[in-house]
Structure 1
Amino acid sequence: MMRLPFAIVALIVALVVEPAHAHKPSDSYLTLKVDGATVDGQWDIALRDLDFALGLDANQDGAITWGELRAKHADIAAYALSRLTLGPHNAPCPATVTGHLIDKHSDGAYEVLRFTAQCAAAPKVLAVDYRLFAEIDPQHRGLLNLHAQGNTRAAILGSDAPVQRFTLGEQSNWKQFVDYANEGIWHIWTGYDHILFLLSLLLPAVLVRATVPGEPWEPSPSFRAAFVDVLKVVTAFTLAHSITLSLAALSVVSLPSRLVESCIAASVVLAALNNVRPVVYRGRWAMAFFFGLIHGFGFASALADLGLPQESLLLALVAFNVGVEVGQLAIVAAFLPMAYRLRTTWFYRRGVLVPGSVCIALVAGIWLVERAFNLRLLPG
């Protein structure tokens, strides 16, 4: 009987001890343009990832200067291109570096590696073998934009499927839908601030306002009541973030990334503190809706980082949102039955709800300070 409480505690602890800057996973952005037998490429790779792999910061002062980066250009090119193969393995298209630049993305500075690959003949099917950082970060992904014969498609490359083949001139909407749905699932599962916000709303879902003085919560009378409460919260959050995700992805509304990420952290703090000193009981769905509007801008930032072509935007928007909902429902399905079973115990109300919410609020408070003032308080 006592294994289940520790499972909930372990879930909370596993989340709150993650690095404070773990909101955005390690990504690179690879653009390929196929013209006959020539493939022109641009590869944006995060400096923080390259520094971890190659040690760009020579003097270890925490800042990578242009001089330090330029001194490592040859190493960067050799490292990256040795982990990317275009064309069949028996006749790969050799790549030559044509330039090094630097660019800013929403999560920091990136090395921009430009190259040209020359194939023996114009490929009808382009194989892409992507293994960047595979030996040090299996969760790293390459976000691919492929332009060929008037068509543009996107794909997600990573260690789970390092080799992918693309029939040039042919575009599968279903394949793109699946790719972006997977991206939505991945984003919610690795977006620790989104998970902690959801957990803050779920923790009291199996409880109701207490009728006994001095006790803020008491067990929910039935699973149906708890389920309805969760349904209201999740529906409100889904509707809200779908609205702002769509508006931002379609460039109707745009907010600064720093402001959005800071507000997301603040939403986690407030939702968690409401469990400790309840102000909102039955109206938590309204809180989920209000803060969901803010989280939608965060989802849109992740989608925009894919560099989507305009003709694929609507498809990607729908698929990404579906993926977010699938990932969110998976968390609910894993958490709710366990929490309902424990709702009558003192341990849940005093040992899980309150300490767990305090831990969530503390970590989110650190995120808030870091994001608002552009500081680094915890290793990331």
Structure 2
Amino acid sequence: MWNIRKSIIAFALTVMISLTAASSAGAHFTSSGYSDIQVGSDTMTYHLSLLEHDFLQIFPDKADGGDKISDKQLAGSLGAIGKLVDDGIIVTGDGKVGTAIIVAAKHEKRASLDMIGIDIRYTFAATVKRYLMQYNFFWYSGVDPNHSNYATIQVGGQTIEQVLGSQNYIVQIQGPGAAAGNPVNASATASASTTKPVNEVSSNATGSWQNTLKTYVLMGMEHIWSGLDHMLFLFGLLLAAEQRVWKIVKLITAFTVGHCITLVLSSLEIAYLSPTIVEPLIALSIVYVAAENIWKKKESARVVVTMLFGLVHGFGFAEVLRGTLSGHMALPLFSFNLGVEIGQLVVVGVLIPALLLIRRIPLKINWNMYASGIVGVFGLYWLIERVLL
């Protein structure tokens, strides 16, 4: 009787701790923007896309539509937008600040999201051998330190992808003039920014694809590691497999096949499911796998359901890529998916030895049931939060 009471108390404490952790984790909606940049010998054209919700946080005037801003107001506020751009983006050519002109600002749809598109043109007095671009929007002012910007840079006939964030916000771009054989004072450029994170971008084909591969592989790995809901779903699958190799292979393979399909379809904007639907479904998948672990179902049905939920998680993974690929999607898409799979394998590789070690500890409780209960508490909390909020 005493053992039953201890089990109940332990489970109650576990639930309380889980609810506290879940409330701090929440959903993983992120602030993001896009930059489409074309680099010329003495000009740079820059199309900046920001989520309308994010833009309103820094827009100096009150929106004429409450939580919306009209195209008419945008067109009449080019001066104010120009000041925002001057603070948010700094572009220099061979150490000299370029003249920025705001050509237009209007609403646009990108990745099925409402965004504000700003066209900027930078001009320089002479041919530029090396550009330096510093992107400061949102994190520099403390508005959102987690803001990311997905930059597509076209220079010298090559397309380079860069992901800009609070720890990675300066890009050096070798101009077409330097690519044609003009010398570059690399030491002078480097000395100006030795204490800041700098990405080097050139028109060299080998360097550009390697940089894209590295950028998107790391992004995929970071995305799955930062998504506690994805991690808990994987943990639930490992609990379902009961540390049996063949069960693990079947369930992880089913999940991988599922999320790869929708990751590709959604990233290419062939299929789309709103985050307001995807996020609750991801939480529901966590609840379901936890419930299955406690009240076991047929093995074949579990594999099918796992693949179906993998389809849902794939839409969640693809939110990072939607709107970034713009016609040259093969390498970024492959690299991001590779990063997700590497990140997933690392998680599985860490959890399996830990679970095997725990199974060897003589415990008087059903460890698998308790752990599944913890997973279920997280999922249930997120499901309620994401449906109601």
Same fold at TM > 0.5: yes
Of the two structures, which has the highest relative contact order with CA contacts closer than 8 Å and spacing of 6 or more?
A: 1
What is residue 372 of structure 1 aligned with on the other side? Answer: none
Percent identical among aligned pairs is 26
1:170 aligns with 2:204: yes
Change (3 A) 1:106 1:279: farther
1:230 aligns with 2:264: no
1:242 aligns with 2:260: yes
Shift of 1:146: 1.2
Change (3 A) 1:356 1:236: closer
8 A Cα contact 1:37 1:120, kept in partner: yes
- After TM superposition, the structure 1 = structure 2 runs for residues 172-187 of structure 1, keeping only pairs within 5 Å, are 172-187=208-223
Letter in 1 for 2:256: T
Change (3 A) 1:56 1:189: farther
TM-score (norm 1): 0.75
Shift of 1:122: 3.0
- After TM superposition, the structure 1 = structure 2 runs for residues 76-155 of structure 1, keeping only pairs within 5 Å, are 76-88=81-93, 90-106=95-111, 108-135=113-140, 136=142, 137-155=144-162
8 A Cα contact 2:99 2:122, kept in partner: yes
Distance 1:13 1:130 in 2: 36
1:64 aligns with 2:68: yes
TM-score (norm 2): 0.73
RMSD: 3.6
8 A Cα contact 1:9 1:356, kept in partner: no
Please identify the structure whose Cα radius of gyration is greater.
Answer: 2
1:354 aligns with 2:373: yes
SS in 1 for 2:97: coil
Distance 1:353 1:45 in 2: 40
8 A Cα contact 1:31 1:43, kept in partner: yes
- Tell me the alpha carbon deviations over residues 232-275 of structure 1, each in whole angstroms, 9 at most, x when there is no partner: 32222223322343345456x52444665665454344334323
8 A Cα contact 2:283 2:379, kept in partner: no
Letter in 1 for 2:133: V
- After TM superposition, the structure 1 = structure 2 runs for residues 42-53 of structure 1, keeping only pairs within 5 Å, are 42-53=47-58
Change (3 A) 1:58 1:147: closer
- After TM superposition, the structure 1 = structure 2 runs for residues 256-295 of structure 1, keeping only pairs within 5 Å, are 256-257=273-274, 263-280=281-298, 284-295=302-313
Structure 2 portions without partners, runs of 5+: 1-10, 176-202
Distance 1:77 1:7 in 2: 53
Shift of 1:73: 5.7
Letter in 2 for 1:66: S
Structure 1 portions without partners, runs of 5+: 208-224, 370-376
Distance 1:74 1:192 in 2: 42
8 A Cα contact 2:280 2:382, kept in partner: no
What is residue 222 of structure 1 aligned with on the other side? Answer: none
Letter in 1 for 2:155: A
Change (3 A) 1:291 1:358: same
8 A Cα contact 1:257 1:301, kept in partner: no
Shift of 1:320: 0.8
Match of 1:17 among 4, 13, 24: 24
SS in 2 for 1:304: coil
8 A Cα contact 2:111 2:322, kept in partner: no
Match of 2:235 among 194, 199, 203: 199
